[in-house]
């Protein structure tokens, strides 16, 4: 049987990298869309890279952009994919307030460009499409836990753009009989999560503080509650959604929620450090109360976290908690990581990374100055 062919937009992102690994293991040929950048931007998939001169490559990257219809049409025509995973997006909620029009173009209209390319090329019956939808669609709390039937109330330009993408996917499915599905995924993290999302920001900072490389760090809203899972579990579900008998929309979540403040506590616990939080709102701070690990000793009472209002969003999503019953019962999806193992995985990885930084610093190699 011929290997299946997948096209992944956003292949250089967190999910794109894990999904590529998964599909390659399943014997797929994987084509990925990458953006041209002035520096290499393929760190997360470099281990999958194959020399373009070898024959029968099964991992191939193409230049392109979600804002460029002609590029997307040409690539889909060349690749003739069995499955498209549309993961590319300007995915940072706070940044979307700074670049709302671009976000609408890449995340909203970008999805239309993919769907319409498939239609235009007459691939409606061949190509199955996964759309990376998000729990941000639920926004202002209408009901908890949030399921496939919970009404949407988006609270950021990112979420509004993703709402267009959600409905245009449903519309193309209904109008043209396409196998196009939304995975409404709740937050999922990993050691390769972007450094400016809150979990990775925390695990990086906690590792650096524990190793004496940093004094303290700053966060925004510590009260926000998120349903955090592991990205490795969630990309499995993306694949399962496209193997289902019928094209449908699916919530993927753990069903448990945790406040940002408690994620901070858990990360510090990984290095044996306990904290006490004092004060409220912008005056809240965290202090060290005990250090149980011989390698990570900080002064008792040391201030390690402050709140900086610059990280507050103009409109916030206060509480996300998903109900994954449909995915569990109809597709048999089970997460293999709980929050504790997610935090442990991220902390182990960041501690290793920061230990390298520590060695470089001790050897006098920390500042790379290209102009010297």
Q: Which one of ligand GDR, ligand NDP, none interacts with residue 191, CB within 5 to 8 A by kind?
A: none
Q: Verify binding: residue 187, ligand GDR, rule CB under 6 A.
A: yes
Among 322, 294, 361, CA closest to 138: 322
Calpha distance 268→347 (Å, rounded)? 9
Q: Which stretch binds ligand GDR (CB under 6 A): 104-112, 122-130, 134-142, 293-301?
A: 134-142
Question: What's the min distance (Å) between Cβ of 160 and ligand GDR?
Answer: 12
Give the number of residues in contact with ligand GDR, rule: CB under 6 A.
22
Interface with ligand GDR in residues 20-79 (CB under 6 A): none
Question: What's the min distance (Å) between Cβ of 8 and ligand GDR?
Answer: 16
Q: Which one of ligand NDP, ligand GDR, none interacts with residue 15, CB within 5 to 8 A by kind?
A: ligand NDP
Footprint of ligand NDP (CB under 6 A): 9-10, 12-16, 33, 35, 37, 41, 65-67, 87-91, 106, 132, 134, 185, 187-188, 194
Kindly name the residue from 18, 83, 130, 136 that is annotated as catalytic.
136
Q: Which one of ligand NDP, ligand GDR, none interacts with residue 287, CB within 5 to 8 A by kind?
A: none
354: part of which helix (H) or strand (E)?
Answer: helix 339-362
CB atoms within 10 A of CB 127: 25
Kindly name the residue from 18, 130, 138, 158 that is annotated as catalytic.
158
- DSSP 8-state class, residue 40: -
Known catalytic residue: 136? yes
Cβ atoms of residues 107 and 132 within 8 Å: no
The per-residue DSSP string of 250-309 comes to EEE--S--EEHHHHHHHHHHTTTEEEEEES-GGG-EEEEEEE--TT----TT-EEEEE-G
Calpha distance 259→156 (Å, rounded)? 20
Calpha distance 215→20 (Å, rounded)? 37
Among 141, 306, 311, 326, binds ligand GDR (CB under 6 A): 311
Calpha distance 273→296 (Å, rounded)? 8
Question: 163-198 b/e with 16+ CB inside 10 Å = b?
Answer: bbbbbbbbebbeeeebbbbbbbbbbbbbbbbeeebb
Given the complex with ligand NDP, which of 67 and 325 has the nearer CB atom?
Answer: 67
Interface with ligand GDR in residues 266-305 (CB under 6 A): none
- DSSP 8-state class, residue 4: P
Among 41, 70, 77, 196, binds ligand GDR (CB under 6 A): 196
Q: Which one of ligand GDR, ligand NDP, none interacts with residue 313, CB within 5 to 8 A by kind?
A: ligand GDR
Kindly name the residue from 134, 199, 203, 254 that is annotated as catalytic.
134
Active-site positions read 134, 136, 158
Residues that bind ligand GDR (CB under 6 A): 91, 93-94, 134-136, 186-187, 196-198, 201, 219-221, 224, 226, 260, 311, 313, 316-317
């Amino acid at each position: 049987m011929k290997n299946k062919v997948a096209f992944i937009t956003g292949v250089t992102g967190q999910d794109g990298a894990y999904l590529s690994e998964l599909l390659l293991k399943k014997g797929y040929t994987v084509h990925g869309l990458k953006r041209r950048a002035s520096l290499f931007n393929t760190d997360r998939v470099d281990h999958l890279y194959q020399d373009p001169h070898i024959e029968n490559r099964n991992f191939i990257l193409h230049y392109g952009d979600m804002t460029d219809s002609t590029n997307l049409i040409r690539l889909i025509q060349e690749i003739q994919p069995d499955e498209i995973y549309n993961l590319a997006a300007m995915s940072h909620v706070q940044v979307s307030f700074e670049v709302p029009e671009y976000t609408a173009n890449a995340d909203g209209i970008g999805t239309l460009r993919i769907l319409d390319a498939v239609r235009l090329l007459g691939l409606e019956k061949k190509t199955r499409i996964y759309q990376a939808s998000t729990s941000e669609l639920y926004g202002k709390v209408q009901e908890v836990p949030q399921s496939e039937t919970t009404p949407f109330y988006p609270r950021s330009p990112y979420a509004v753009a993703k709402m267009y993408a959600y409905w245009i996917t449903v519309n193309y499915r209904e109008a043209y009989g396409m196998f196009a599905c939304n995975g409404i995924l709740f937050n999922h993290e990993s050691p390769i999560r972007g450094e400016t999302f809150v979990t990775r920001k925390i695990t990086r900072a906690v590792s650096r503080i524990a190793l004496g490389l940093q004094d303290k760090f700053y966060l925004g809203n510590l009260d926000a509650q998120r349903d955090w899972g592991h990205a490795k579990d969630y990309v499995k579900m993306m694949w399962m959604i496209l193997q289902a008998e019928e094209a449908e929309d699916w919530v993927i979540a753990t069903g448990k929620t945790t406040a940002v403040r408690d994620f901070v506590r858990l990360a510090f616990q990984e290095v044996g450090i306990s904290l006490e939080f004092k004060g409220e709102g912008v005056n809240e701070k965290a202090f060290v109360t005990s250090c149980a690990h011989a390698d990570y000793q900080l002064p008792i009472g040391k201030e390690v976290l402050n709140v900086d209002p610059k990280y507050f969003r103009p409109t916030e999503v206060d509480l996300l908690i998903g109900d994954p019953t449909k995915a569990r019962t109809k597709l048999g999806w089970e997460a293999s990581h709980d929050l504790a193992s997610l935090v442990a995985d991220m902390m182990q990885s960041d501690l290793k990374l920061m230990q390298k930084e520590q060695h470089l610093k001790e050897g006098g190699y920390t500042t790379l100055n290209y102009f010297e």
